[in-house]
Amino acid sequence: MTDLISLVVPFYNEAEAIPYFCATLLPALEAIAGTDWEIICVDDGSTDTTLLQLVALSQADPRFRVIEFSRNFGKEAALTAGIDAARGAAVIPIDADLQDPPELIAQMLAAWRAGAEVVLARRTDRASDGMLKRKTAAWFYRLHNHMSHTKIPENVGDFRLMDRVVVNALKQLPERQRFMKGLFAWVGFRTVTIDYARPPRAAGATKFSGFALWNFALEGFTSFSTAPLKIWTYLGALTALGTVLYALYIVIYTVVFGNKVPGYASLFVAITFFGSVQLISIGLLGEYIGRIYVETKQRPSYLIRKTHGRFDGT
């Protein structure tokens, strides 16, 4: 018997990378015996020729299946759509830029067939990333794992193998705003880790700006921890305490040395104190109410314009 394995590949303006991706991926897959493949390509509203190339691939090779979004919904939505559509006994998300080496898939399958339900690919060398990105990534993992009960493995991206039981568990999670690294970690299951050195991109450029990465990190913090609420509470309390201490200082100074500007002390204390209280309230409520607002609208994470290739047995 052969296992059907699903690869999930998000694409957003990756026209330059597609030829290199196929030329590297397909030989690596064909070298693995006893396995059938489906390659689910999710076009996340690309504006170049990415979709045309993917449709051509699905017409030439029945292993390729293409999901075309109605617009750009983001990588997390693309991963969700691919996982929802996957039919394999195991699912492997992989990036199209070849920084996730397809040669590692054989080792993942070996660990899976030995009993692992999740096989993580951990990057031991991030020399292809800039110094700032490496440092900020390290800070994110450490801070997140200190703040959250759900620990995200450091230097592990979306590239991993998940057994069908793990995929079914993920499909039960109803969040609209999805932080996939956190969801992958939250479901748990028996996990094995494989180390590899991360190569540079084969073609194209990253689609994540510094601001996008910051928002992504904020999504991770607020999705799996209420610690930011507590932090702002403590920060606001410290600010209020500092205001009280400074008020005492002003009172003592005024009694001892006098004050040339009548009313200044009381106005300053009142403004700074109530300003601190307002910051506490905003910090407590803002980000989390925003998340509640988005979730209560219950809009889908993505909309599919069209599918290409063999879906539902067609």
Q: With b meaning 16 or more CB within 10 Å and e meaning fewer, what string describes 50-73?
A: bbebbbebbeeeebbbbbbbeebb
CA distance 162 to 154: 18
Find the helix or strand (DSSP H, E) in which 271 lies: helix 264-297
pLDDT band at 227 (very low <50, low <70, confident <90, very high): low
pLDDT at 241 over 50: yes
Look at the pTM and tell me if it is higher than 0.75.
no
pLDDT of 43: 92
pLDDT band at 54 (very low <50, low <70, confident <90, very high): very high
pLDDT at 218 over 90: no
Q: Which residues contact 13 (CB under 8 A, 6 or more apart)?
A: 46, 47, 48, 50, 204, 207
pLDDT at 314 over 60: no
pLDDT at 142 over 60: yes
pLDDT of 284: 67
Which neighbouring-strand residues pair with 307?
Answer: 67
pLDDT in tens, 270-292: 777 777 767 767 766 776 777 77
pLDDT in tens, 4-26: 899 999 999 888 888 888 988 89
pLDDT at 59 over 80: yes
pLDDT of 168: 92
% the chain with pLDDT above 70: 73
> Which of 50, 42, 120, 104 is closest to 79 using CA atoms?
42
pLDDT (average), residues 294-302: 80
pLDDT in tens, 167-197: 999 888 888 777 787 788 888 888 888 888 8
pLDDT of 245: 81
